[in-house]
Structure 1
Amino acid sequence: MSGPGRTRPPRTLWVSTSTRTQGGIATCVRTLAATGLWERWGVRHVATHRDGSRADKAMAFASGLARYTATMLLRRPDLVHIHMSSAGSFVRKAALAWLAYLLDVPVVLHVHSGRFHLFHDRAPAPLRRVIAATLTRADVVIALGELMRTRLARIAPDAHLTSLPNPVRLSPVTRRPAGAAPHVVFLGRIWDKKGAFALIEAWAKSSGGESGGHLTMAGDGEHERARTLARDLGVADSVTVHDWLSADQVAELLASADVLALPSENEGQPMVVLEAMSRGLAVLATEVGGIPELVTDGVEGLLVPPHDAGALADALGELLGDEARRRALGEAGAARARDEFAADAVAARIEGLYHAVLAAHGHPVPGPGATR
């Protein structure tokens, strides 16, 4: 317990999907937790979602809601940090946010979805009002980059918005042997919205297999469709399609690669792009969402318009045929990841937000190092 005149340690409640789920939010949460932020701010984590069937997800939310409510009532936190996406994720997290608002507990909303504005625009009018009110009532809303911040400002003009990049844990830079056959990796859901099938078509057009190169795709989604397309295009021998890989397997795969390809039709700030940059991979992606805030075309990678099969094939062919170009883009990406997106630096900015939010509420600002 805290002694006379001593400030008790902070109590912070984080809410997100399970850290064992697939996807960028879980990766972001794990990355920030590993910085020591959770220890410094006394974080308790409540998962309100997990992968699985509808029944599994319903049970996860019911269990998470019970734990959240008990924590709010019995061990009132100083601050709640809620990680949300769009659609069902927003609905679940909004309910939790409003409980905190009613109890006058400061709330940080962390919006991860690059499609949040589309979710809002397609929602019925009553839900649009709830979305705007939920964002406006929060003490601060974190957007992944300036483009997302601008989009959220159009939804909730009076919300207290800021932008932060996703964090990346710095990894050893990939150094493949000179002259090694190029290895291109795709990580993410294997479906049309991520450009997975367009990438296989571009691989065939750019004669990726004829160069001795290999394309490896890993993620959940339509695996058999991808394998069938590769066979139909005559590139099955140079294309491997995996199910979702563990974090260790992803690290091993990235360490063997030269290029990360992610030709999505929409994105926020994909964690996989940051992970690839930190390892010194050249990035081939579409100029959508927050990607141009991570990758400058011609500097850390090559960006092409979405749904432009010709541009994608041309850019892929350029990278496959020029080892020096791949290395230069990868080295620039590693430098930028180290300078701008390192997890410790992002965690420090989040701590700054916590101090500002608590000070605005007139609370004594608990600081790391207080006696428990």
Structure 2
Amino acid sequence: MTTRGGVASFVREMRETPLWTEWDVRHVTTHRDGTALTKIAIAARALVVYLYQVLAHRPAVVHLHMSSYGSFVRKYVFELIARGLRIPVVLHLHGSDFRLFHDRGPRLLRAAIRDALRGAAVVVALGEPWAQALRGITAEARIIVVCNAVRLAEPVDQRTEQPVRVLFLGEIGERKGAFTLLDAWQRMVRAAGDPAAARLLVAGDGAVEAARKRIADLGVESTVEIRGWVAAQQVPEVMRRAHVLVLPSHREGQPMAILEAMARGLCVVTCPVGGIPDLVGEDCGVLVPPGEIEPLATALEQVVLDGALRARLGAAAWQRVRDEFDIDVVWRRFDRIYREVIDEHR
């Protein structure tokens, strides 16, 4: 699976757990990055494969990963089919703008969203703020919180002279705060007084050329590298070379990039939006207000210049993943959910 995004990352991780084999999971891909024609073809093929699977194999439970817009339409159709066949549905919500998607939608769409939430045996939210937002759509849905999961890795070595390597990993644009980051980076470099102290790698797709122009305008070309999208298999190597992950998102779900960074002991600088506060507390990361340049510049200066602080936050982040977000903990949670849902529908 080479599709980008949190859902694809979650599925890749779950493939490697006993959940996949013990439940004989049959994954149906409904989306793939590419042209509009490619996406339509994949969606059409997925519907055929899904119909065959539910009719021929009659699964005990259907687990749907749903987000906004096209994802909602595809998965709502799948949910209706499962409900028509009396197969219980676990509806796993992703996408940071789902409540906004509902509130701004026409009346018929809002009714469909409410029906999707009410009709599922269980709705899985990635964090308590998401759960509250979904309860605001309908109080009749059974909503539980299960955070994303990641596999623990060998912690990075935070002992370094210079440069400290800072990583931004995600779509380059306003939602992820990429341009706020570039402005803050310029101020941090000036405040630190040593252009050799740190290097920033911006890895992702989106507004790549606009980011390159902003870097040139800010005069920080010598300290910033722009790279295109990093494939999933390359992420571990990119993170092994980093000391800090910065993701100053304005709106967010529960980014796998943060979990993957924490699982490697990186120091995380981010914003308390969406499901991020469920992952990062003040004891294992640095939280700054979204969209504000000065607090972000100050936070970057602190973690770049203070190696002891960087190491302490990175170690606490690694410990928190081990205790709460390790894949071996989360797959067992889904195993219990499946069993409970099946028992309730007998």
Q: Fold match, TM over 0.5? A: yes
Cα distance, 1:250 vs structure 2: 1.3
1:6 matched residue in structure 2:
none
Pairwise CA distance, 1:87: 1.4
Tell whether 2:23 aligns with 1:64: no
Identity of aligned residues (%): 45
TM-score by length of 2: 0.97
Question: Partners in 2 of 1:178 and 1:47 — Cα distance?
Answer: 42
Partner of 1:301: 285
Alignment correspondent of 2:6: 24
Aligned position for 1:264: 249
CA-atom RMSD in angstroms: 1.1
Residues 211 and 320, structure 1, Cα contact 8 Å, conserved in 2:
no
Gaps of 5+ in 1: 1-18, 363-372
User: Paired residue for 1:226?
Assistant: 211
Please say if residues 176 and 256 of structure 1, whose CA atoms lie closer than 8 Å, have aligned partners that are also in contact: no
Distance in 2, matches of 1:114 and 1:33, equals 24
Tell me if the contact between 2:69 and 2:101 (Cα under 8 Å) persists in the aligned partners.
yes
CA distance in structure 2 between the aligned counterparts of 1:358 and 1:248, rounded to whole angstroms: 35
Question: How many corresponding residue pairs?
Answer: 343
- Which of residues 184, 187, 192 in structure 2 aligns to 1:202? 184
1:228 to partner: Cα distance:
1.4
Q: Distance in 2 between matches of 1:194 and 1:245?
A: 16
Match of 2:91, as an amino acid?
A: L
Structure 2 residue 312 is the aligned partner of structure 1 residue 312: no
Which deviates more from structure 2 when the two are superposed, residues 305-314 or residues 331-340?
Answer: 305-314
Counterpart CA distance in 1 for 2:162 and 2:334 is 41
Partner of 1:97: 79
Aligned to 2:170, which of 169, 188, 208? 188
- Comparing 148-157 and 200-209, the one that deviates more: 200-209
1:273 aligns with 2:258: yes
Residue 346 (structure 1) aligned with residue 333 (structure 2):
no
Separation of aligned partners in 1, 2:120 and 2:67 = 15
Per-residue deviation at 1:67?
0.4
1:119 aligns with 2:104: no
- How many Å apart are 1:97 and its aligned residue? 0.4
Match of 1:163 among 111, 133, 145: 145
Gaps of 5+ in 2: none
Q: 1:55 pairs with 34, 37, 40, which one? A: 37
Corresponding residue number in structure 2 for 1:246 = 231
Could you say which residue in structure 1 is the equivalent of 2:22? Answer: 40
- 8 Å contact from structure 1 (residues 133, 156) kept in 2: no
Q: Quick one: distance in 1 between partners of 2:142 and 2:30?
A: 25
- 1:37 positional shift: 1.1
1:139 aligns with 2:113: no
* 1:277-319 per-position Cα deviation (integer Å, ceiling 9, x unaligned): 010011100110111111112x111111111111111111111
Cα separation, 2, equivalents of 1:33 and 1:163: 21
